[in-house]
Every structure is written in C-alpha cells, then in structure tokens.
Structure 1
Amino acid sequence: MRHPASDPNVRPRAAAAAPATPAPPGAQVPAACDVLVVGGGINGVGIARDLAGRGLSVVLAEREDLAQHTSSASTKLIHGGLRYLEYYEFSLVRKALAEREGLLRGAPHIMRPLRIVMPHDPSMRPAWMLRAGLFLYDHLARREMLPGSNSVDLRRDITGAALKKHYTKGFVYSDGWVDDARLVVLCAVDAAERGATVLTRCAVASATRGSGGAAGAGWTATLQFADGRAHTVKARALVNAAGPWAEVFLRDHAQQQGVKSLRLVKGSHIVVHKLFDHDHAYIFQNPDKRIIFVQPYEGDFTLIGTTDIEHQGAIGAARIDDDEVRYLCEQASRYFDQPVRPADVVWSYSGVRPLIDDESSDAAAVTRDYLLELDTAGGAPLLNVWGGKLTTFRLLGQEAADMLAAPLQAKQGAWTHGAVMPGGDLSAWIGPPNKASRPDADLRLFVQALQRRWPALPEKVLGRWARQYGARIELLMAGGSAGDEIAPGVYEAELRYLAAHEWACTADDILWRRTKLGLHLDDAQRARISAWCEQHITPPGREITLEKAWN
C-alpha cells in the first residue's frame, strides 16, 4: 500500500489559558494584521511562531494542510549533515549542529537522540577521511547531551548482525530523530496560542503592495478558502514562505519582478517491514558518492532514503518512480544480509525541496542552507524565504523576525532559543527537568506516569500518545474518557482533539501527518476513521487544485 504523498527566560504565551483553536473558513479572520505569512510548512510556521511571540499580530495562510508536502517528506533527522562537510559547507553544518540539543530538549515527545552507524567500505571513502569528518562533526559545535563518535567492531556489536559479514568495522556518531509533520503542527499550535491566526485550506490568491513606501500602505491580500469564499486582509508586511512554490507565488500572485530561481529537487523514501532489532540507524555510502539513511520507524518498520533527483512538472504531484525504488533497494541490499526488494515496500513518500540554485551540476551537492531577502525599497516590507532545512527552522525563524522587527517596530526581542514546544514540558508529570538528563529518559518516566494515571488504557496507546502529544495529553483527555474505540488503538477523544486543536479536517490529515496510523491500520480500519471524520468534522469544502491555484 502506498500513500500519495519551561524556561523562565521565555515570555508566557499571549493566550496561555486558551489552547489553539483552528479558524474555520471565513470565521474569525481579522481584517488587518502586522504580518501575513504565506505557507504552512516548517519555515512558515517557525516564522509565525517567532513573530507572534514578539507581540505582533500574525495571519498564516496555508493552501492545503499543514506540512502536507515538503515538510512531512523529510528523512526525519535533526542533524548537522555529515555529508555536507565534503562540500565544505562548514557554516551550515556548524549552525545545524548548534541547534540539535536545544531542539531535542525542547521537544522530548516528538524528538529523540539517535546513534547512527556507518559501516566502513574501503572501496568508498578511506577510514582516515571518515575519522577526520567525524572529528569535525563532534567539535564544530558544543555538545552536552549527545555522545561523540567512536569506532565499532561489527563482528561483535548487535548493529553488525543484520549486515553482510564482510563489513567488519564501522563508526558510530550522534544526531537526532524528529517527527517532522508533528513539529510543524506544534509550531502552528504555539503560534496560535501566542495570538496568531492559523488558516488551513486557505490560498493567498493575490497580494498587492501599497505604493508610496509608507509602512501604513501595507499589503492587500485576497484569501481564497476551500469552500469558495474569499476574504480580504491588510497586512503591514508579507512573508513569502511558500517553499517549492515561493518563486511561482512571488511572480504570479504578488506581481514581483526579479524573482530568484529555485532548484527543485525531489527526495523519495521507502518503508519496509523492519530489517533489524535495535534502535540505531545506519548511514550507507553508495558507489555514486551519495548516501542513504536506514532507520527504525514506527516500531514495526524500517525507513530508507533519500534520493536526490531534479524535479520537473507539477510540484504538488511529486511521487516516487520505479527507478528510485530500485535505487534505494539496491543500495540497502549492498549492506544488508537480507536483500531489500521493490515488492517489500509497504509505503513510500516523496517531497520537493526548494534549494537555492547555486548552479551545481549535481543535485546532491546543491546547498541546503537558506537565504532570507528583505525588500523594503518597493514599499511595505516583503520577506522572501529561499531554501532551508528542517534542523535550522528555529534559527531561520529568529533571523526572519529580527529582520522584520525594525520596520514593524516590534517591542519584544528574540525568545525561541531554549523555548519548549507545546507538550514538551513534562515536569508536572516527572518532576523538574535535570539539565543533564536525556530527553528519551524523560519520556520513559512520562509513559510510566501516564500508565499510573490511566491504567485501563492499553500501554501501547499511552506510549504512542506520549510520543505524539506529550503533556498535551491533558487536553486530549479533558473529557475524562478516551471514548469509543473507532479503530484498533484509535479512540474518539484523540480524533476530537486533532479536529478541535490541530487543524485536522480529513482522514489523511490524521492518518498520515498528525500520526502515522495509516501504516498500522488496514483498509477497513482506515475507512472507519474516514467515516468518523465525514460524520463529525465540518467538511473543509472543495479542495483547491494546487496547480490551478499556484502554477
């Protein structure tokens, strides 16, 4: 089956007493705001969150669902990018490494430390080069929680058991794992709880810049909801964080000239039944000098990816092709005793990465760094976001907000460094956090506390809820009962919570982005979730076809 694709220094939320409530089409949409953010991927929600925390009024408009495309199609890693050292991307690697531990501490429910094994293949890179790269990786940024790299004897270590026997030596280093789609949603929740208006199924059909250069002139934008209704909003500044559509949106919908060119690169992943019985991931070197990651996924599965292929055609229609499936299977089979075959693939996904076009001939070598461009010469501020990667979203959001702070006269400064994501403060359940503790250890204590609180609920369900919702499980269980079991392990309380507080409108939103339940349920069980959504969630209206809206 394949599917289409609490820190005392942090200011309190502007609306801390009221959890995020999705804005339905046409309702509670302000007529004016300080900033209109276009795009509900990781960069858009990260910027909206930071700006809202500085006391600015923010409207975020996402044409489809949050994280529906690129931001839910990553390799699920919080990492510096070991392979970028080979392309001399030291600045990018350093700032990404510096972000890792702060992110891991602030979101222990959706992130966890990850040890990654690199089997040494003498026909690829020599051992001295790997050691040198890992030494740099260990020391480019300060580490407090994550252990450094070391060598491993694969003949004796459990991580070598699944590999072909001629792989006898390897290296192990640290990075982090993240549920990417949930990271996006929680940033949106945080933004909403700090006063932002988050709109999904809402396209910015047009944006017109006021003339004269005065800040009061602003932007006038037409929002087009999925049910056909339109709404006009005036904004003092516009942020273009449309990801792969940033170039198209700017040229065709904001009528701006001299638009920067993006390099659109498709990355695809496959999921198979689990290939090994430990919690480490692997990084495999391929003969084409690329790498793939292989990691434990959703308990019963293994995730393999990614590819890097120039993407042509409709951005929203990116799908894995047969050559990509074969490539990932062949490269994984070079290392594993048990061959991986295309027939083993139970799910796949693809995303289009909007990379800055640096004229590199190799898609894998195109920089993953970002560029922020603030244009105030034409009148009201316009901030364009080009490129970027998941790990640096917070830093990007902070830099973007810093750039807009002066023209918008924001009274509050940067605040997100060290901030805890919604649900990430587990201290009420496990006691005050110990700075030296690992987030995964805190999560185990949290699960034990949940089992004491709700002993009648299955341990597996509570474990999943802990990893997805963290301390927000209090809100999920606010009614005092989990309610009816709609499908195995899926209770009505969770579905109601996702619809009321996380902008979930359809079964796909729930099964493939807010959770990965789609992997664990069969067709009939998924159909029951879909039927529940149709009965209990107000339909978002007709979908706006992406290519008609923005291409």
Structure 2
Amino acid sequence: MDSFDLLVIGGGINGAAIARDAAVREAKVLLVEKDDLASHTSSASSKLIHGGLRYLEYYEFRLVREALQEREILLRTAPHIVRPLRFVLPQTQGMRPWWLLRAGLLLYDLLALRGSLSWARSVGRNESALREPLKDGSARRLLSYWDAWVDDARLVVLNAMDAAERGAEIATRTKFVSARREGEYWHALLADGRQVRAKAIVNAAGPWVADVLKRQLREGSASKIRLIKGSHIVVPRLSEGDHAYILQQPDGRVVFAIPYGDFTLVGTTDIQVAAPGDACISPEEVRYLCDAANRYFVRQTEPDDLVWSYSGVRALHDDGAAEAKAVTRDYHLELDQDPGAKLLSVFGGKITTARALAEEALDMLDMEGRRSTRVAPLPGGDLTPPFLAYLDQLRDGLDPALVERLGRAYGTRLRDLLGDAATRSDLGRHFGAGLYEREVNYLVEHEIARSAEDILWRRTKLGLAMTETEQKRLADYLGDQGPSCNGSVPGAGTSSI
C-alpha cells in the first residue's frame, strides 16, 4: 500500500494549488480527480484575476486586499497566462452615483498599495475607442480601472504540473471512493481498486465538498455551503479593442463584457441551485445576459447569436446572506478536531486567492517546509529577454499569430513543445484552427490531456474555432469518443467546460 503525507481530493484550482504548495514543502502528495483537471467550476469562471470591486459594497476589505495582493503575485509568476486588462465602467442614471463609484475605485487602488497596474481615472471625452461601442445615453460618464485576465483552466493545469515536477502524483479520472481513520493514517480506497494511506486528507471537491464529507468520509461538518450557479455566454464582438466593460444592472448586480478572441464573453449570473449537477444555462439566464449587454452596447445581441455558453456551480461558504449575489466569496477552511489522521475541508474561495488558500491550509495542517509559491514562477512563467528574442526568431519560420498563441499559452515551455521545429511542416498533422500534432502530443505527454475535450475546451479553447469534422479528427487521433455536445453545439454548456 502506497503511503503519502497528503491526499488531496479534487482537481480544481484549490486542490491543484494545495498539491503544489505541499510538493514545494517536499511532502509526498497524491491528488485524485474523478474527471479531468479543471473540468468543472474552475474552467467555468469569468477568466479574471481581480480583487472583486463589488465586494467592497459588502465590506469584504480583507478579501479584496488579499485578492489584490494575489493578483500582483500572479502577474509576476504566470505572466504568460495572466495579463493586465483595462475595464471601462459606465456611470448610468438611476444606478450607483458617481461619487460612490469614484470613492470605491480609490479605495480599490489604495488596497492594492504598490501594485504594478495603473490607477483608476475618468475617461476623457476624446477617448473615442472606449466610448464608441456604447449607446448614446447609456452612460453619463465613464471611469477606467485595471485588473487582470487569466486562462483559468491553464492556471489549474500549471499548478498541477508544478506539483508533479516536484514529486506529487496527479491521478486524473480517478474517483475517490472512501476512507477510514486508523490511528495516524487515513486508509483510502480509489475507484480503480487501489488502496493508499495518508497522514492527512484535504477535501477540495468544490461543489461536492459536502457530499465527500457525508458519503465517502462519513464525517460531519459545522460549515454549510450554498451552491450558486454562474453562467456565461459568448457572442460576436460587441466592441473592438482589448479593453473590457463592467456593466451595472437595475437589480444591483454587475455583468462583465470581456474580449474573448474574436468574440465577447458576457457574464455572470448568480442563481442558487440544489445540486452540483445543475450546471446548465437556462433560457432565462441567456435572456438576462443579452439584456444586460443590450442596455449599453450599440451592437445588439440576441439568444440566436450565441456562439457558446457555459455554466459552473460555485460552492460558497454559507454566511447566511439572503441573496445569492451577497454570499461571501471568501474561503473558509475547516479542520476536523478528531484525534489521529487530519482532515481539512475547503469551503468557498475564488480562483484569484487559491495560492493564499493553499498556503493557509498547509499551515493549518502543520506541514513544515519552504513557503516559496509567492515567488516561484509557474511552469513557463520565467519569461526573460532571451526568451522574447526566441519568440521573434520563431516568427520568421512560423505563422506569427500561431507563435503569439503558443507563447501566451506555454511561455518558456514552448521550447520543450517545439523542440527542433522551425517551420510549419515540422509541426506534423494539422487538425484545424492552428492546432498541430506536435502540440497535441505535448499536451498528452506533459499536461495530462486524454481526450479531445481536454485539449479543445480546457488546454487551448480552440473548440470555438474548430468545425465538428476537425474536432472528430482530433478525437479519432486520440482514440476517444470526441468532445461532448457541450463543446460543439452553440448555446450548450455545462460546468465541465
């Protein structure tokens, strides 16, 4: 029977970050995930690394401050997949007053302290690129501030890769069945029949955290969760440029409109649901998001325009808030007080603060060792002038747009991916949308990708640009059944994307 210091249940951002931090501290770690990495909530986010401007309304100053600190860390340690993003905030009659928005943004910048991003400011009347997409009368004045964009699923994968390269075992498509305490160890059973033992278990199962406690571990909990569904739609571009918009709504919520390649990502909703499997966008949510965008943009969008949609269920710590939008996004860590082998459960959290959550979790488990995730780059994040020169050299032999995409996805690991390839013919079979055989093989060998869906909707997001025929060609090459309908039918989406 294999023995570990730590068994992590769940391959979302919290589980992957905890496995990475434990591996950095030289603990022996096993992470188990019943599906693919980031196959549920962690790939169904708004793709933002941000402090959470609207959380200031609920006086969550500690959370905002921590998230802004983590934003700065991620901009340094993962600059290939995390990049600054400018937001434009229209002030509309009947919504939050100008003075309140200005004061909120000032406090937001002050909480960031010596952050690297520019401070908020008013948008000048001559800044037509920011104003032209908006309807006349939809905004009296505009404010501008900065946060960051992230490839959310890749952030999860890179945390897991770093953990694996430091000695952790990452077991995807491996369901956790049960565990029982025997003295100083948990004895656990996995779905493939494998039995392992661990000194501690971290239950980071996201929306399934309560189910794992009750059914697999047969343990109680003082904490409760609220399952909140967030849905997004992807539509043809509503504005040009690389800036995003944050749109106030009559119900007090805000909706983001974010550039997403050739499209615009609009989201999110906040709907309480009964079960983790309820991650499916409803016609009412689609209508809500279309209306939210149409209040502001000249280019109107309707449900028939949808290119894609997706939903995820967030397991938020139940703080007693009456409305879903008011439930705290802060995380809560519960350490079981029974003697013997330790059990820690993760409730809530957000993708921005996963590293800090992991650090605190391992401190609670009394795991000693280096605490270097604050400064250590994630795989590919050690960008230096020599690497930037390498990218320029690649552009001479490869399509510049392809080099740009690969550089942003893999950073310095692009050297490993390309090897001696210098021209397009060196990349092997072309599956479509700039996806070549060499990249596919790299994802299988180094990033634990197993299916077309893993590659198209989590590792690369190229499913948006590929035809069903091209997707099937990739599936045949990999020997699976192809991507699910959620990755190929416009308008369909679940938390598994």
TM-score, reference length from structure 2: 0.93
With 412-421 and 491-500 compared, the bigger mean Cα shift is at 412-421
More deviation, 319-328/335-344:
335-344
CA contact (8 A) 2:133 2:297 kept: yes
1:152 aligned residue:
123
Asked if 1:423 is matched to 2:364, the reply is no
Residue matched to 1:223 = 190
Q: 2:90 aligns with which of 119, 123, 128?
A: 119
The answer to whether the 8 Å contact 1:40/1:66 transfers is yes
Structure 1 residue ranges, 4+ long, deviating more than 6 angstroms after superposition? none
Structure 1 position 222, deviation (Å): 0.6
Q: Does 1:246 align with 2:203?
A: no
Q: CA RMSD in A?
A: 1.7
- CA spacing shift, 1:506–1:317, aligned 2, 3 Å: farther
Supply the AA of the counterpart residue of 2:69: A
**Residue equivalent to 1:337:** 298
Candidates 371, 375, 394, aligned match of 2:355: 394
Counterpart Cα distance in 2 of 1:391 and 1:533: 33
| In 2, Cα distance between equivalents of 1:331 and 1:247 | 34
User: How far apart, in 2, do the equivalents of 1:173 and 1:54 lie?
Assistant: 37
User: Among residues 173, 177, 182, which one is paired with 2:145 in the alignment?
Assistant: 173
Q: Which moved more, 1:272-281 or 1:262-271?
A: 272-281
- Shift of residue 375 of structure 1? 2.1
Q: Is the alpha carbon distance of 1:465 and 1:371 closer, same or farther for their aligned partners in structure 2, counting shifts above 3 Å?
A: same
Identity %: 51
1:67 lines up with 2:38 in the alignment: yes
C-alpha displacement at 1:275, in angstroms? 1.4
Partner residue of 1:193? 165
Structure-2 change in CA distance of 1:306 and 1:154 (3 Å)? farther
* Code of the aligned partner of 1:158: A
Give the one of 57, 60, 63 matched to 1:92. Answer: 63
- Picking from 357, 369, 378, the partner of 2:330 is 369
Which one of the candidate residues 41, 49, 52 is aligned to 1:78?
49
Structure-2 change in CA distance of 1:324 and 1:246 (3 Å): same
Assess if the C-alpha contact under 8 Å between 2:11 and 2:37 holds in 1. Answer: yes
What secondary structure sits across from 2:176 in the alignment? strand
Structure 1: distance between partners of 2:256 and 2:221 = 38
Distance 2:50 2:201 in 1: 30
C-alpha separation between the residues in 2 aligned to 1:91 and 1:53?
A: 26
For the 8 Å contact 1:272–1:302, the answer to whether it is kept is yes
Equivalent pair of 1:32/1:234 in contact (CA under 8 Å): yes
Q: CA deviation at 1:479?
A: 5.7
Please tell me whether residue 33 in structure 1 is matched to residue 4 in structure 2.
yes
Query: Equivalent residue of 1:278, what SS?
Result: coil
Q: Could you tell me whether the CA contact under 8 Å between 1:192 and 1:198 is conserved in 2?
A: yes
Mapped contact 2:106–2:120 kept (Cα < 8 A) = yes
Matches within 5 A, 1:378-457: 378-406=339-367, 410=368, 412-427=369-384, 429-430=386-387, 446=388, 449-453=390-394, 455-457=396-398
**Cα displacement string for residues 302-354 of structure 1 (whole angstroms, at most 9, x for unaligned residues):** 000000000124x1351100000000000110001121111111100000000
Partner of 1:518: 463
> 3-state SS of the aligned residue for 2:117?
coil
Corresponding residue pairs, total: 477
The TM-score, its normalising length taken from structure 1, stands at 0.84
CA contact (8 A) 1:250 1:259 kept: no
Indicate the SS of the match to 1:275: coil
Aligned counterpart in structure 1 of residue 439 of structure 2, from 466, 469, 494:
494
DSSP 3-state at the match of 2:112:
coil
Report how far residue 429 of structure 1 moved: 2.7
Separation in 2, partners of 1:279, 1:195:
39
Alpha-carbon deviations, 1:85-143, whole Å to 9, x = none? 01111111111111111111111110100110001102101101001101100101223
CA deviations on 1:450-499 (whole Å, 9 max, x unpaired) are 24136322111111111111111111123643222222411100000011
Q: 1:19 corresponds to which residue?
A: none
Q: Secondary structure at the match of 2:307?
A: strand
CA contact 1:155–1:165 (8 Å) conserved in 2: no
Q: Does structure 2 conserve the Cα–Cα contact (< 8 Å) formed by 1:402 and 1:414?
A: no
Given that 1:247 and 1:260 are in contact with CA atoms closer than 8 Å, whether structure 2 keeps it comes out as no
User: Gaps (5+ residues) in structure 1?
Assistant: 1-29, 212-216, 431-445, 538-551
- Structure 2: gaps (5+ residues): 483-497
Are residues 1:289 and 2:252 paired?
yes
Q: Deviations over 1:506-540 (max 9, x none)?
A: 10000000011000111111111111111899xxx
Q: 1:155: Cα distance to partner?
A: 6.4
1:484 to 421, 429, 433: 429
CA distance in structure 1 between the partners assigned to 2:146 and 2:383 by the alignment: 24
Q: Which residue of 2 aligns with 1:267?
A: 230
Please give the alpha-carbon distance, in whole angstroms, between the structure 2 residues aligned to 1:429 and 1:186: 22
Is 1:460 the counterpart of 2:422 in the alignment? no
The aligned counterpart of 1:206 is 178
Is the Cα contact below 8 Å between 2:278 and 2:313 reproduced in 1? no
Cα distance between partner residues in 1 of 2:26 and 2:441: 30
Deviations 1:3-35 (A, max 9, x none): xxxxxxxxxxxxxxxxxxxxxxxxxxx711110
- What is the one-letter code of the residue matched to 1:220? H
